[in-house]
Amino acid sequence: MVTGKGGTGKSTVAAALALALATVGRNVLLCEVEGRQGIARMFDVDSLPYEERRIAKGAPDGAGRAGQVHALHIDPESALLEYLAMYYKLGRAGKALDRFGVIDFATTVAPGVRDVLLTGKVYEAVQRPRGGRNKSQITYDAVVLDAPPTGRIGQFLGVNSELAGLAKVGPIKNQADNIMGLLRSPRTAVHLVTILEEMPVQETSDGIAELRAAGLPVGGVVVNLVRPQDLSAASLAQVRDDVVDPTAIISDLKRAKVDVDAALVASLVDQARDHAVRRQLEDEQRALVAAEDLPTYELPRLAGGIDRGALLELAQLLRAQGMTS
Amino acid sequence: MTPVLDIDALLDDRGTEIIVCCGSGGVGKTTTSAALALRAAERGRKVVVLTIDPARRLAQAMGIEQLDNTPRPVAGVDPAGGGTLDAMMLDMKRTFDEVVESQASPEKAKQILENPFYVALSSSFAGTQEYMAMEKLGQLHREAQADGTYDLIVVDTPPSRSALDFLDAPERLSSFLDGRLIRLLIAPARGPARLMTAGFSLITGALTKILGGPMLRDVQTFVAALDTLFGSFRQRADKTFALLQANGTAFVVVAAPEPDALREAAYFVDRLTDDDMPLAGLVVNRAAPAPRTDLSAEEAITAAERLRSGDSSSLAAGLLRLHADRVRMVEREQHLRERFVASHPQVPTAVVPAMASDVHDLAGLRAIGEAMAAQD
């Protein structure tokens, strides 16, 4: 499970993690549940249906070999219809349900049902038996879910389940219990994505506390969109303390054949000062993340944005930092 | 050339009674609404800002940490212009309870408030927050008109999955409340004569199978108790929708210079246009500040490489790389904004450069307000 506050790039990280997990001979399923078609956009393919599609090869190893990444766009209506078809022989009633707005009710208004339907599909993909009856079905070595944001993750995973309070017995209750069993097992890890800013870090730490209190296995923290580290600590301090020697910079820039004047130097130093202030704030937030005492991984902010190439680059970085081992 | 969103003209126009800030999650909506509210107050408006989920330190700075569902004056606002600023944080459950209490007899209200289905619905339904934000906006507006406490209401919208949820959720909830399913569920309460339709037994049979009997009964008692209130729920939702379409309302769409946020912003602009909602413009937050020199990214990188081969700890090389990164960011954001403009050329836009540090006090909000107003 990959969660994170809005704007931290959790979908990017989920996709990169799927690519990183897809080593040679392995099949990985990347799921999204928020109806955004973010996977299709990142991988530049047509909008995904409620059907598993192979979308990419994993990040290659040293010998250029890789496994496969499949993708699934889970929408609650399709999940409900599939679930009903699988477990209940409703016949005519199935159609009537839709006509009377029951499908709409179950997937939008009924508290908690939507989330059970979404996690239920993930549960089905994870529990699929190897060599099961349906030969066309792929079994997966790993399933990565681009989950809802940190603020809603507890509710999504059924932590304060309103549903549990409502459905005390019955089929939905059983389904929710089965899913919770898997979520609480060591087979699950909930990773949190953050950027090094105050609010996302605070939300990450609240999220970790909530997940732990609910007995859900917290994986690691992925620190995303880290600013470039082009200035050394000494340089950053110089810039921050305003003790930069312009003549040294001018002579260096001349040596580098830059057409230099005082205005250029001043604007470069100004940019660096903003950057230094940000870097200092990043360091403060980094210390807070470290205090959570969880495995932490860092990914750079790529100036060119996110495309397939960038995702592979990030996947290699996650692998190199041991997130997939 | 994109038209510029003139923030001060918007805030100074006494005809502007409501400003709604919307956009996808993580783009700085809360900060933008607070900054707009503060600027309006310091320019002489009597403002109340309704926030949904402010950062802890910002909530502290504005004195709205306790959730008591009532606006409180914000300390530290410059009173020279004759304006005032109150702020409040939405308590959605309480707002919902208050609506029920104001519409039903005490016994009936008690019955509803204690129903397990109501408890779950009012605290968890993904659309309740949106619905209640609109309900609170309606309340504030009625109060403001009655006693003149406020002449401008600024609303932050909930951190939705998508920016559109906030317009759709009230409609979804109220159409559920007076839809066919509800009528079907109420049927038993209305007597046995109408019970035995084929559709009814099919549906209740299926629902009992899926939901289990007890949950279905909770839903039925809830619906039966709420029966008399449906009309007023629908009416309230319709009134608020009409209020949003009125001339005194201005929507400000907030985005970050990222593909997803701008795509959401584009959807939202289209949706507002389709629904005849008054769009004031787009605010693009956290833009990479434009460099003050025209040294290109390629020149900077080439020069940095020349230096790196000689001296690896060179400050000048670091400055050049940093500059190249900044130029590339600015170019990428420029490109993303151009794509937005190509499909929405008429949307007035204000670009707010990223601040070097996080905003969590009035001084920070003031700086954002100034940057929003200072478009060149």
Q: For the domain that residue A299 is a member of, what is the CATH number?
A: 3.40.50.300
Half-sphere exposure (Cβ direction) of B14: Cα atoms closer than 13 Å? 2
Q: With an 8 Å Cβ cutoff, are B176 and A234 in contact? A: no
Does residue A288 sit within a domain?
no
Contact A202 B56 (CB under 8 A): yes
Q: Is residue A242 situated within a structural domain?
A: no
Query: A196: which chain B residues are within 8 Å (Cβ-Cβ)?
Result: none
Residue among B270, B14, B5 nearest B163 (CA): B270
Q: Which of B53, B159, B209 sits opposite A171 (nearest CB)?
A: B209
In a domain, B117, yes or no: yes
SS3 label, residue B371: helix
Spatial distance between the Cα atoms of B184 and B203, rounded to a whole number of angstroms: 9
Closest-CA distance of chain B to residue A291, Å? 20
| Position A314 in a domain | yes
Q: Encode burial over A53-67: b for 16+ CB neighbours within 10 A, e otherwise.
A: bebbebbbeeeeebb
A183 lies in some domain? yes
Contact B120 A8 (CB under 8 A): no
* Structural domains of chain A, count: 1
Rg over CA atoms, chain A: 24
User: Is residue A28 one of the residues assigned to a domain?
Assistant: yes
Give one word for B169, left, alpha or beta, with left for phi > 0 and alpha for psi -120 to 50.
alpha
Q: What is the pLDDT of residues B242-268, one digit of tens each?
A: 888 899 999 999 999 999 899 989 988
| 8 Å CB contact of A88 and B206 | yes
The domain tally of chain B equals 1
For residue A72, being part of any structural domain is answered with yes
B13 is in which domain, residue-wise? 7-171+232-291+344-373
Provide the CATH number for the domain around residue B47. Answer: 3.40.50.300
SS3 A2: strand
**Pairwise CA distance, residues A193 & A189, whole Å:** 13
- Residue A8, SS3 per DSSP: coil
Nearest to B126 by CA among B162, B88, B90: B162
Angle, vertex CA A121, rays to CA B179 and CA A294, nearest 5: 115
Q: Which two tokens mark B345?
A: 């050329």
Provide the residue-wise pLDDT of chain A in tens; the chain has 325 residues: 999 998 899 999 999 999 999 999 999 999 999 888 899 999 999 999 999 999 999 999 999 999 999 999 999 889 988 888 877 776 666 777 777 777 877 777 676 778 888 999 999 999 988 776 676 789 999 999 999 999 888 888 876 565 656 666 677 778 888 899 999 999 999 999 999 998 899 999 999 999 999 999 999 999 999 999 889 888 999 999 999 988 989 999 998 899 998 899 999 999 999 999 999 999 999 999 999 999 999 999 998 889 999 999 999 999 999 999 8
Torsions phi, psi of A13, nearest 5?
A: -65, -40
ipTM, 2 dp: 0.87
Q: Is residue B278 part of a domain?
A: yes
In a domain, B326, yes or no: no
In a domain, A126, yes or no: yes
* Cα(B19)–Cα(B251) distance, integer angstroms: 6
B78 secondary structure, DSSP code = -
Comparing CA positions, the residue from A285, A298, A279 lying closest to residue A222 is: A298
| Residue of A90, A99, A267 lying closest to B292 (CB–CB) | A267
CB within 8 Å: A252 and B293: no
pLDDT digits (tens, 9 = 90+) for B226-245: 766 767 777 777 788 888 88
Residue A282 in any domain: the answer is no
> What residues have CB less than 8 Å from A150, skipping those under 6 apart?
A3, A4, A5, A192, A203, A204, A206, A207
Tell me if B225 is assigned to some domain: no
